[in-house]
Structure 1
Amino acid sequence: MGRVLRRGRIVVALLSVLVLMVTGYAWDQYRNLTTGIRTSNALSGSGKSSGGDTNILIMGLDSRLDENGNPLPQDIYDALHAGDQQVGGYNANVLMLLHVPGDGSKATSISIPRDDYVSFPGSPDGTSKGKIKQAYGLAFDQAHRQLVAQGITDRATLEQRSRDAGRKEEIDAVRQFLGGVPVDHFVEVTLVAFYQIAQVVQPITVCLNEATQDSYSGADFHAGQQQITAAQAVAFVRQRRDYVHPELNFTDLDRERRQQAFIASVAYQLKQTGTLADPSRLSAIIDVAKQNMAIDSGLDLLSFAQQASNLTGGNITFTTLPIAGFGKDPAGEDVNLVDVPQVQGIVRNLLDGPPPADAAPPSAAPAPAAGGSGTVDVVNATSRTGLAASVEHALDGSGFTAGATSTASVSRKSTTIDYGPGSAAAAHTLSTLLGGLPVAQDTAVPSGHLRVVLGSNFSMPRSLAAAGSSAGPTAPPSGPAAPAPDTGSALDSISGGGIPCVK
């Protein structure tokens, strides 16, 4: 149980920032909330969003300590079965960028997989590349050693100054990875918060597409909607394997989706059941936030609440950034391989909206073939019969011309879009329509044509699924063969405002 809650503790930040602050009672308690909460100046000097938009980076730490660096009560360690203060560290195992548009339109929460292999702008501890979650801990360690060498011995001072170094490096690493997006504010939560929040708001309704069991996390759930306790919530957000049902083929990305679904479900239930009007339960949530949460000194909770008051009503979409595949770092540790230009393009589209259909990407020369035009040929390199025809049918009305469909002689995992001369802009437009697929030029593709090669990781975007449903199945057929691991290379999202079903 050594990694309990790293995917679930994010809920305390969103509950505190998105839920507590949207009720009149919560704002009666505004002074009470802000008086006891820890603040940080780690964001000083950072660039800010324009047009009234707000970007908040939410970080969940893999630490068995509280915000002051002190051990947790023994009863908490006993309840979590997560080890004690000697276990864990300062990895930012939860990274979520919350974008709230200034015009009141739908907000977006972008989850960044913790094992994405990226560059570290500050090279903390002499490390220039690593898993994005490690930026915090490496900078914390470097700063802590330097502070001790300077003769600083006060435990609280050491802890917070070291954390500020970790916060700054983690924020800078995220900003660089996402293409220089501004981070206006941050919220940091520690390990114990999720369990304490779950205790306050239980029972919690969740929904699963399939029955699943896992002795490692303690997960044992049936298919469909069900109410779970705080202890079961720990297993729900922690599960990343199922040896009883190996065909489910869990990966760490599934915990990202569980995390998002749990947040959406809890926020929806709190609003529907009137929990936020219950002074005793609300006070308990506020007390948890004080103990296990830190924010930047510039975050005006009251002002943000006025901007974000409609998010608990479902005016938010949760999105997980895709990865290109799995690999090893120089030390032999498992990492997520990422297509950085693809990720940055997706983030731009999510925050600013898609570019005009006739706009070429910044690095491409103007091309005669405009976005939304060209002939699309689709190759089915999966075992899903009729998938190529489904994609062609789903693209009806998009401006693209249906081309040839075919079946590859060899199956493949990844999905790609290849384009011929003059079709770069059209390829990027098609990529956006199909969920942010990687694109590449291929001289074997005729001019004016685009070739989509469908791998086993392809998932029809919800916006196109209805159009393509009549042409053939999009889900893998049942059978003894397990599907290829889900790399998340097709962008997927979860909408707020209800109880979403996940794996």
Structure 2
Amino acid sequence: MRIAGKIVVSALALVVFAGTAYGYSTLSSLDDVTRSSVIDAGKQPRPGEQPTDGSLDILLVGRDSRTDEKGNPLPADVLRELRAGPNGDDLTDTLIVLRIPNGTQTVKAFSIPRDSYVTLPGGEKGKINAAFGRAKLAEAAKLRAAGETDKDKIEQESLTAGRRATRQVVEDLTGVTIDHFAEVNLLSFYDISNAVGGVEVCLKQASSDRDSGANFPAGPQKISGAAALAFVRERKPLPRGDIDRVVRQQVFLASLAHQVLSAGTLSNPGKVSDLIDAVKKSVVLDDSWNLLDFVGQMRGISGGGIQFSTVPIVDPDYRYSKSDPRTTAVQVDPAQVKQFAASLIGAPPASSKPQAPSGVVVDVANAGDASGLAQRVSDVLKDKGFAPGTTGNAAARRTSLVRYGAALATQGKAVAELLGGLATAESADVPAGHIEVTLGQVYAGPGTSSGGGAAAGAGDAPITSAGENCVN
């Protein structure tokens, strides 16, 4: 059984943050953590140096792997408990970027859905989680063709190629220069969640899923080990599928951060020791990351100082294959993603902002099942300077559409951009001075959340490590 998306437990970052309060000596035991040459030589910031793009950026990767950090297979009993088959794909199922603006100790984290349809290194189009496996396979073939026969060398150098390709595709999509890299797998997640004594989560309703092993009641609860992995793997029964799974990953990671940074964890030497042991067993870092220097930079971060959100999504059910229309991906607009990533550490460039209209009325209709969605989206547009018009329901349709008359083409396209890059159509049927927005069943843009913390895309309320986030 192929493992669906796993939480990127940013184990290393959390342990390092904990070290800001626990002390430098504790972290010295992480010196022998597995390293990989992921960052280009000379491009990583020097100790004490502030990155030129305005932020220290860390890529956290969760990989669908049944091996440890040395490439050794996980024990059969562990695989059975995790409900994982013996064969894993070389996929990066979770991608999270941590942005730490220069001169601050506020961490802004954002997720990239694993099925985002992007341009991969080399120019080919595909899902972002395939970059790792393609590069790994190509490097292994190259080494064998050159006469290399050492299996361990081929494996390690191929893994490095996969990690570098993953870093590159994230940089290309987001415009962010990745300064450091951390990778975890199934075993590290399992051990880390156990090490902290469980993590508090909350569900709006009970859920169960045979594939992931999920079986949870509604309301707040503490989970760890196999149950924690099931919580962040569950997908099919959730209202928005992969999008809700991304939200679960964010909520779990936020709660884990709060747990790690709490007095109960930091004051317990046994828990801290278990946490560091878990990191050392299965986490891989780039070889340029000086942990003690990083601790000095991050001194003072608290459990509530991390915010999580998701890149803007154009279409979560994008049918990109003409030969197989059943095949889907998550459509993202690189320009929107870059603007979103830049906005986390400061205002986006003025040239990228749509011009605020004057006297343009936007009518919003909901053609999906989400209660109150039309009003929430109308409120989002009102905040951007558009006059609110009518809100209500429309005949069911799958995709969203923005319609406008010829005189309001510029403003209509601006509305479509603000809502995540929706499809547009010019129509003489739209009343003069009005723009009509119809929100389809797969709409996942701003306004999706009612403010409770679900982050389906830019514009939703971010999840914080100090918040009470009850989710689907």
User: Which residue in 2 is equivalent to 1:258?
Assistant: 248
Alpha-carbon separation, structure 1, partners of 2:263 and 2:448: 31
User: Which residue in 2 is equivalent to 1:401?
Assistant: 387
- The answer to whether the Cα contact below 8 Å between 1:388 and 1:405 also exists between their aligned partners in 2 is no
Alpha-carbon separation, structure 1, partners of 2:255 and 2:442: 26
Alpha-carbon separation, structure 1, partners of 2:422 and 2:295: 37
Q: Which amino acid aligns with 1:134?
A: A
- The answer to whether the Cα contact below 8 Å between 2:199 and 2:223 also exists between their aligned partners in 1 is yes
For each residue in 1:106-153, what CA deviation from the matched residue of structure 2 results, as whole angstroms up to 9, or x when unmatched? 322111111112111225xxxx12111111111101111211232333
Distance change in 2, residues 1:286/1:408 (3 Å): closer
TM-fit CA distance, 1:340: 3.2
User: Which sections of structure 1, spanning at least 5 residues, go unmatched?
Assistant: 243-247, 362-368, 467-473, 475-485
- The answer to whether the Cα contact below 8 Å between 2:187 and 2:282 also exists between their aligned partners in 1 is yes
Moved more, 417-426 or 323-332: 417-426
Alpha-carbon separation, structure 1, partners of 2:264 and 2:445: 36
For each residue in 1:349-387, what CA deviation from the matched residue of structure 2 results, as whole angstroms up to 9, or x when unmatched? 33432444xx455xxxxxxx9426442321313367876
Q: Percent identity?
A: 34
Distance change in 2, residues 1:166/1:447 (3 Å): farther
Distance change in 2, residues 1:488/1:270 (3 Å): closer
Aligned residues: 458
Alpha-carbon separation, structure 1, partners of 2:154 and 2:399: 46
- The answer to whether the Cα contact below 8 Å between 1:10 and 1:94 also exists between their aligned partners in 2 is no
Give the secondary-structure state (helix, strand or coil) at the position aligned to 2:108: strand
User: Which residue in 2 is equivalent to 1:38?
Assistant: 35
Give the secondary-structure state (helix, strand or coil) at the position aligned to 1:29: helix
Alpha-carbon separation, structure 2, partners of 1:66 and 1:487: 31
Give the secondary-structure state (helix, strand or coil) at the position aligned to 1:60: strand
Alignment of 1:181-200 (within 5 A): 181-200=176-195
User: Which sections of structure 2, spanning at least 5 residues, go unmatched?
Assistant: 46-50
- Note if 1:300 corresponds to 2:290: yes
Alignment of 1:310-325 (within 5 A): 310-321=300-311, 322-325=313-316
- Note if 1:176 corresponds to 2:161: no
Distance change in 2, residues 1:21/1:51 (3 Å): farther
Alpha-carbon separation, structure 1, partners of 2:307 and 2:441: 25
- Note if 1:339 corresponds to 2:333: yes
- Note if 1:134 corresponds to 2:133: no
For each residue in 1:152-211, what CA deviation from the matched residue of structure 2 results, as whole angstroms up to 9, or x when unmatched? 333432222111211121111111122x32111111222211001122122321111111
1:275 to 265, 270, 288: 265
- Note if 1:120 corresponds to 2:120: yes
TM-fit CA distance, 1:392: 4.5
Give the secondary-structure state (helix, strand or coil) at the position aligned to 2:395: coil
- The answer to whether the Cα contact below 8 Å between 1:205 and 1:499 also exists between their aligned partners in 2 is no
User: Which residue in 2 is equivalent to 1:90?
Assistant: 90
User: Which residue in 2 is equivalent to 1:470?
Assistant: none
For each residue in 1:42-64, what CA deviation from the matched residue of structure 2 results, as whole angstroms up to 9, or x when unmatched? 43355874265111111111111
- Note if 1:15 corresponds to 2:14: yes
Q: Which amino acid aligns with 2:282?
A: N
Q: Which amino acid aligns with 2:163?
A: R
Q: Which amino acid aligns with 2:149?
A: T
Alpha-carbon separation, structure 2, partners of 1:373 and 1:47: 46
Alignment of 1:213-292 (within 5 A): 213-242=208-237, 248-292=238-282
- Note if 1:161 corresponds to 2:145: no
- The answer to whether the Cα contact below 8 Å between 1:63 and 1:88 also exists between their aligned partners in 2 is yes
Distance change in 2, residues 1:289/1:21 (3 Å): same
Alpha-carbon separation, structure 2, partners of 1:397 and 1:215: 43
Q: Which amino acid aligns with 2:19?
A: M
User: Which residue in 1 is equivalent to 2:199?
Assistant: 204
Distance change in 2, residues 1:239/1:13 (3 Å): farther
Q: Which amino acid aligns with 1:158?
A: I
Alignment of 1:372-383 (within 5 A): 373-382=358-367
RMSD of Structure 2 on Structure 1 (CA): 3.5
Alpha-carbon separation, structure 1, partners of 2:457 and 2:55: 28
Please, what TM-score do these two structures have when normalized by structure 2?
Answer: 0.84
For each residue in 1:471-496, what CA deviation from the matched residue of structure 2 results, as whole angstroms up to 9, or x when unmatched? xxx9xxxxxxxxxxx99567533222
Give the secondary-structure state (helix, strand or coil) at the position aligned to 1:69: coil
Alpha-carbon separation, structure 2, partners of 1:15 and 1:384: 35
Alpha-carbon separation, structure 2, partners of 1:489 and 1:9: 18
Distance change in 2, residues 1:459/1:72 (3 Å): closer
Moved more, 492-501 or 139-148: 492-501
Distance change in 2, residues 1:375/1:385 (3 Å): farther
Give the secondary-structure state (helix, strand or coil) at the position aligned to 2:262: helix
Please, what TM-score do these two structures have when normalized by structure 1?
Answer: 0.79
Q: Which amino acid aligns with 1:324?
A: D
For each residue in 1:65-106, what CA deviation from the matched residue of structure 2 results, as whole angstroms up to 9, or x when unmatched? 12221222343223323123xx01321111111111113163
For each residue in 1:412-445, what CA deviation from the matched residue of structure 2 results, as whole angstroms up to 9, or x when unmatched? 344455566477479648955x6x4537573646
Alpha-carbon separation, structure 2, partners of 1:222 and 1:305: 38
Alpha-carbon separation, structure 1, partners of 2:192 and 2:149: 33
TM-fit CA distance, 1:320: 1.7
User: Which residue in 2 is equivalent to 1:107?
Assistant: 107
- The answer to whether the Cα contact below 8 Å between 1:95 and 1:113 also exists between their aligned partners in 2 is yes
Give the secondary-structure state (helix, strand or coil) at the position aligned to 1:274: helix
Distance change in 2, residues 1:55/1:439 (3 Å): farther
TM-fit CA distance, 1:241: 2.4
Alpha-carbon separation, structure 1, partners of 2:370 and 2:30: 53
For each residue in 1:14-45, what CA deviation from the matched residue of structure 2 results, as whole angstroms up to 9, or x when unmatched? 4344x4433233x2123221234324254335
User: Which residue in 1 is equivalent to 2:48?
Assistant: none
For each residue in 1:275-298, what CA deviation from the matched residue of structure 2 results, as whole angstroms up to 9, or x when unmatched? 123222212221222221122222
